[in-house]
Structure 1
Amino acid sequence: MRVLHIITGLGVGGAEQQLRLLVRHLPAQCDVITLTDPGQVAEGLAADGVRVTHVPMRGNRDVAALFRLTGQIRAGRYDLVHTHLYRACVYGRIAARLAGVRAVVATEHSLCATRLEGRTLNAGIRALYLATERLGRVTVAVSPTVAALLRRWGVPDGRIHVVPNGLDADRFRFDEVSRKEARAFYGLPEDAYVVGGIGRLVPAKRFDVVVRAVARMPGDTRLLLAGSGPEEEALRRTVRELGIADRVVLAGDLPYLPDPRGDAPDMATLLSAMDVLAAPGTDETFGLAVLEALAAGLPVLYTTAPALEDLPPHTAPGARRLTGGAEEFARELLRLRAAGPGERAVPDVVRHYGIERTSRQLMDVYTAVLSGTTWK
């Protein structure tokens, strides 16, 4: 089976990293096209032996790019086209149909109640999305929460299929050597209590809540925050105003898999350096960082994580949902610190979202689409 994945960009991000992980595990011959930003994940895919093509698109009105994309699809003689993220889903579905490919699947990674991939939803975005959604066969939602939003938008229930994000749990298993190496790399004392945060530095992630919570904690508490984004300077300003610049490390974007060309820690190594993960974001569509932290045996304080909320609470005993601000997070962080380190046990929820299971579910979708099977 020849499958073409089309994605808006391949910079560091959850959907982009998930695509790389899926391609590694899908029993199909996969190529990838990116419309913008052939960045760090594109390099990783190429290192994995995946053919990555950049079809540059200069904005949502670049019609010429649509025809270039159509030509690439036609030349590849693909059995199925799978699109990811808004721009790729809109233009990829059109291009696939123009190229004569009717087996088209789209994954909706980032639809929230009021935003889509960070942009505020409006009638125009919704109308264009729904018009092009009809050109595909199935829209995959990464959680039941996203599936419910798609139904509310007007996507027919029979065209929606839930395939959750997958996790390579063994990669994130706690490692004492990695802990020491990462702490040494970032200048963190071995005996410090390290609060972690992972994600795009955007308002919806609410990392300012974690910064203010850490400022309320004892002086040997550190914050290790991985990610980049438009809120970085505002966070740095808050850190300076609170007088905790020497207690905060902004690590920037990190690879999810080891980079043989660099010496910076990857995400799994970073998680081993932490004592707890704080995830106060309010617009999560899945909660992959929360799952990765649980796979590393960390306790987690979170505000929104559909991956956990869609399963019984006993599957993730190390996770606690908080709905307040910095004071509540600080109080719970102090409680966890006083309780001391746990045994780094991996909860059942992590096994539920294994990448092998996700890839099998997605292959079932591909097979059904190619055979003309109707869902439900």
Structure 2
Amino acid sequence: MKALHIITGLGAGGAEQQLRVLLRHLPVHCDVVTLTNPGAVADGLRADGVDVLHLGMRGNRDLQALPRLTRLIRRGAYDLVHTHLYRACVYGRIAARLAGVRATVATEHSLGQAEIEGRPLTRPTRALYLGTERLGSATVAVSDTVAARLSDWGVPAERIHVVPNGIDAARFRFSAAERLATRARLGIPPDAFVVGGVGRLVPGKRFDVLVRAVAALPGARLLVAGDGPELTTLNTLAARLDAADRIRFLGECDAHAGVGAPAVPALLSAMDVFVSASREEAFGLAVVEALAAGLPVLHSTCPAVEDLPSRQAPGARRIDGTTQELTALLRERMTAGAQRLDPPPAVDHYDIARSSERLMDVYAHALTASPSRMPTPSTERTRR
């Protein structure tokens, strides 16, 4: 089988990182097209031996990208096209249909109740999504929560397949040596209390709550891996609260070792507690990675944990997400001292090998259920 993955961008986001780790475990030949932003994950994919092409799309309404993408798919003679993230799902499903691809699968990574990929869900956005969803063979939800949202939208149940995000847990295992080395690299004392967060710096992630809570705890420090439009605002807030020297925004950090900022596993080893204050999540990949590192986790919403029985992730605690509550809980952790936990059963549940097996089942279903390769416009003209 030969598959093409189409994704909106390849910066160091959750969906992008998930694509990279997934391709390491899928037993099929895969190429990747990114519509925009061939960032750190594109470099990582190429290092893994994956062919990555940047389509050079200029914006959501760059309709010239559609024939370019269609020609690329047709030349590649792909058996299956797999799309990731909203823009890629819309353009990719149309292009795959025009190119005559036999089966098209789309993964819905970031569908919230009121937002999609951090942007408000509008009626036109929803209508365009549903209109193009019908062109595909199957839609993958990364959690039961997302599957329920898709069903509420009107996507037929038989088209929805749940394939949870997965991690390579061994990469995130706690390392005492890595903890000391990372803290030394960042100028953090070995005995300092360190709060951590990972994610794109957008309003929906509510990193301002972490900044305010840590600023209210003299001696506590905050490390955040991620970049985005809120960076300047958050740095200004930290300075206004006289905590800029204790709060570090490290930019995009790959899940793998790099020459820039420390990789995410190293940062997790350097932390004492992990916080996710997001308003909405479709899965909560960073929370699962933190649990794999043995960190206590405070989260406001996380389907990856909430869709499982509570005993599967005893180190994760749900919070209301107010600054006052978070400050109080962090103060308790700070007083109790550093505590490392054993990775809970939830980590094994979200093993990437298991996720890849489930996705291969979806591929088989899509290829079996789909009709033979549809004629392309050129072959139609030949028949006439």
Whether contact under 8 Å (2:110, 2:117) holds in the other structure is yes
Residues 373 and 89 of structure 1: is their aligned pair in 2 closer, same or farther, counting only changes over 3 Å? closer
Matches within 5 A, 1:50-89: 50-89=50-89
How far did residue 344 of structure 1 move?
2.9
How far did residue 324 of structure 1 move?
3.7
Matches within 5 A, 1:213-292: 213-217=213-217, 219-259=218-258, 262=259, 264-292=261-289
Whether contact under 8 Å (1:102, 1:136) holds in the other structure is no
Greater Cα offset, 14-23 or 343-352: 343-352
TM-score normalized by the length of structure 1: 0.96
Residues 99 and 324 of structure 1: is their aligned pair in 2 closer, same or farther, counting only changes over 3 Å? closer
Aligned residues: 371
TM-score normalized by the length of structure 2: 0.94
SS of the residue aligned with 1:31? strand
Residues 324 and 18 of structure 1: is their aligned pair in 2 closer, same or farther, counting only changes over 3 Å? closer
1:107 aligns with 2:104: no
The aligned residue for residue 39 of structure 1 is 39
1:308 aligns with 2:273: no
- Aligned partners of 2:248 and 2:188: how far apart in 1? 9
Q: Which amino acid aligns with 1:131?
A: G
Q: Which runs of 5+ in 2 are unaligned?
A: 372-384
- Aligned partners of 2:223 and 2:64: how far apart in 1? 43
Task: Write out per-residue CA displacement over residues 220-259 of structure 1, whole angstroms, 9 at most, x where no aligned residue.
Answer: 2111111111111111111111111111111111111112
- Aligned partners of 1:325 and 1:121: how far apart in 2? 24
Q: Which amino acid aligns with 2:368?
A: S
SS of the residue aligned with 1:96? helix
- Aligned partners of 1:245 and 1:67: how far apart in 2? 48
The aligned residue for residue 375 of structure 2 is none
- Aligned partners of 1:161 and 1:252: how far apart in 2? 34
Residues 324 and 89 of structure 1: is their aligned pair in 2 closer, same or farther, counting only changes over 3 Å? closer
1:329 aligns with 2:317: no
The aligned residue for residue 336 of structure 2 is 339
How far did residue 12 of structure 1 move?
1.2
The aligned residue for residue 139 of structure 1 is 139
Q: Which amino acid aligns with 2:114?
A: T
Residues 324 and 39 of structure 1: is their aligned pair in 2 closer, same or farther, counting only changes over 3 Å? closer
SS of the residue aligned with 1:81? strand
- Aligned partners of 1:267 and 1:12: how far apart in 2? 11
Whether contact under 8 Å (1:186, 1:249) holds in the other structure is no
How far did residue 341 of structure 1 move?
2.8
- Aligned partners of 2:206 and 2:340: how far apart in 1? 29
How far did residue 310 of structure 1 move?
0.2
Task: Write out per-residue CA displacement over residues 192-247 of structure 1, whole angstroms, 9 at most, x where no aligned residue.
Answer: 00011111111111111111111221x22111111111111111111111111111
How far did residue 169 of structure 1 move?
0.5
The aligned residue for residue 20 of structure 1 is 20
The aligned residue for residue 364 of structure 1 is 361
Q: Residue 352 of structure 2 is aligned with which of 352, 355, 360?
A: 355
- Aligned partners of 1:342 and 1:247: how far apart in 2? 21
Task: Write out per-residue CA displacement over residues 5-24 of structure 1, whole angstroms, 9 at most, x where no aligned residue.
Answer: 00011111000000001001
The aligned residue for residue 184 of structure 1 is 184
SS of the residue aligned with 2:24? helix
How far did residue 373 of structure 1 move?
7.7
- Aligned partners of 1:112 and 1:302: how far apart in 2? 16
Please, what is the CA RMSD of the aligned residues?
1.3
Q: Which amino acid aligns with 1:270?
A: L
How far did residue 170 of structure 1 move?
0.5
How far did residue 314 of structure 1 move?
0.8
- Aligned partners of 2:37 and 2:79: how far apart in 1? 26
- Aligned partners of 1:352 and 1:113: how far apart in 2? 25
The aligned residue for residue 198 of structure 1 is 198
- Aligned partners of 1:340 and 1:158: how far apart in 2? 49
- Aligned partners of 2:254 and 2:351: how far apart in 1? 20
How far did residue 263 of structure 1 move?
5.2
Segments of 4+ moved more than 4 angstroms:
none
SS of the residue aligned with 2:64? helix
How far did residue 340 of structure 1 move?
2.8
How far did residue 52 of structure 1 move?
0.4
The aligned residue for residue 381 of structure 2 is none
Q: Which amino acid aligns with 1:363?
A: M
The aligned residue for residue 98 of structure 1 is 98
Task: Write out per-residue CA displacement over residues 141-197 of structure 1, whole angstroms, 9 at most, x where no aligned residue.
Answer: 001111111111111111111100001101000001111111111111111000111
The aligned residue for residue 155 of structure 1 is 155
Identity of aligned residues (%): 61
- Aligned partners of 2:59 and 2:214: how far apart in 1? 40
Greater Cα offset, 289-298 or 334-343: 334-343
Q: Which amino acid aligns with 1:249?
A: R
How far did residue 118 of structure 1 move?
1.8
